[in-house]
Each structure stands twice: as C-alpha cells, then as structure tokens.
C-alpha cells in the first residue's frame, strides 16, 4: 500500500512542545491519522482513537477541532495520537511547558496513569524538577559547555508517587546546580 508507513517509523513516537495537530481535522481524526497511514480500516482506526481519547479524558470532544480546545487538551490529543500507533519509545519534548500549573499537574497525572497501562518507554525532556521526580524512574541531568550527561539518578521513591516530593526536588536541584558532592 503506497501510504503505509514503514515499520521502523512506528517504533517511535514524538510529542513536541508546540501543538502539532492538523487544524482541519477533528480531535478523533487527528488521533486516527497515523493509524490510517498504516493502512488500518476507518472502523478500526476510529475504535482505537476512541479508546485513547477515553484514556486521556477527551471523549466528549472527539468531534471538536483544535481551535476549540485549550492548550492542555491539545497536548492530550497529541499524546493520544502518538500512543495510538503503539510505539516502543515515546519522546516527549517539554510537552507541558506552555501550560498553566493546574493543567500541567493534570497532564502529569494522566501521563502517570498511562504509564501504568501501556508498555512503552518514555523519554521525557523537561526543565521542571517536580515533573522529573514525579514521572521518572531514572533522571539524567545534562550539563552544558560541553553538553553531556552529568549525572544519572535512580528515583528511589516507589510508584505510585505523590505529585509533590519536595525533599527529592531539593536534592536534585542542589545536585544539578553543583552545590552538593
């Protein structure tokens, strides 16, 4: 089939900082896009899209267009679209950076719930220490000039985690700032 994506492209998904939805497609159609490109029937793609929209809490908005959504809702559609393709690894580049604190916290919780249900490795890029501590099992601290991995920290807090883990946040902050041994 001419419009089928190679299997290699299905191994990884990406959620960007900006909202990368097709403005002319509904929420459901945006989630269906990759599935259609893989050659899935419309009925199968629609069923999968609905499952993912339910998982990210957007079932009520499946016929809405991106301009009718808030920023947090747009990012949840982007997450659903990426995960609907069943990637082995999902790269999330500051996906909640532009969101207000309350929406950001809700999106973190949704990501944590998805992590429990889906077998996917998530590489989450963030500058937010609370986000790193809450979502990650392993945190890589990157250095600058020259760039590279400065430290690899195994998160000792078992799941499920509470959204605020201030003592760990403080230790990671001090470590990344070079203020501890």
| Low-confidence winner among 17-31, 43-57, 93-107 (lowest mean pLDDT) | 93-107
What is the mean predicted confidence (pLDDT) over 40-59? 94
Among residues 90, 97, 59, 47, the alpha carbon closest in space to that of 75 is found at 97
138-148 pLDDT, tens per residue?
Answer: 999 888 888 88
Query: How is the chain split into domains, by residue range?
Result: 128-181
pTM of the model: 0.80
**Residue 172: is its pLDDT beyond 70?**
no
**What burial class does residue 152 get, using C-beta atoms within 10 Å of its C-beta: 0-12 exposed, 13-18 middle, 19+ buried?**
exposed
The answer to whether 161 touches 126, Cβ cutoff 8 Å, is no
Q: How far apart are CA 77 and CA 83, in angstroms?
A: 10
Strand locations in the chain (E): 12-15, 89-93, 121-125, 138-143, 148-154
Among residues 97, 122, 101, the alpha carbon closest in space to that of 18 is found at 97
**Residue 7: is its pLDDT beyond 70?**
no
């Amino acid at each position: 089939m001419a419009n089928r994506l190679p299997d290699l492209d299905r191994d990884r998904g990406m959620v960007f900082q900006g909202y990368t939805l097709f403005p002319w497609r509904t929420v459901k159609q945006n989630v269906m896009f990759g599935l259609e490109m893989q050659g899935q029937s419309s009925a199968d793609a629609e069923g999968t899209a609905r499952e993912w929209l339910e998982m990210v809490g957007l079932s009520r908005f499946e016929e809405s267009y991106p301009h009718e959504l808030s920023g947090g809702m747009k990012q949840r559609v982007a997450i659903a679209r990426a995960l609907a393709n069943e990637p082995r690894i999902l790269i999330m580049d500051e996906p909640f950076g532009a969101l207000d604190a309350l929406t950001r916290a809700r999106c973190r919780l949704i990501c944590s719930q998805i992590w429990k249900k889906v077998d996917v490795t998530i590489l989450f890029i963030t500058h937010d220490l609370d986000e790193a501590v809450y979502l990650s099992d392993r945190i890589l601290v990157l250095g600058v000039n020259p760039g590279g991995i400065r430290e690899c920290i195994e998160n000792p807090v078992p799941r499920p985690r509470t959204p605020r883990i201030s003592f760990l946040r403080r230790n990671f902050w001090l470590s990344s700032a070079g203020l501890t041994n």
